[in-house]
Amino acid sequence: MKPVRILFDQGTPAPLRRYLVNHEVKTTVEMGWSRLTNGQLLDAAEDTFDLLITTDQQLRQQQNLAGLKLAIVVLPTTSWPRLEPNHTTILSTIESITSGQYVELQL
Q: Which one-letter DSSP state was computed for residue 17? A: G
User: Is residue 105 scored above 80 in pLDDT?
Assistant: yes
Question: Model's pTM, two decimal places?
Answer: 0.95
CA distance 61 to 84: 27
Convert the pLDDT of each residue in 18-61 to its tens digit.
999 999 999 999 999 999 999 999 999 999 999 999 999 999 99
Assess contact for 23 and 73: CB atoms under 8 A: no
* Distance, first Cα to last Cα, the chain: 25
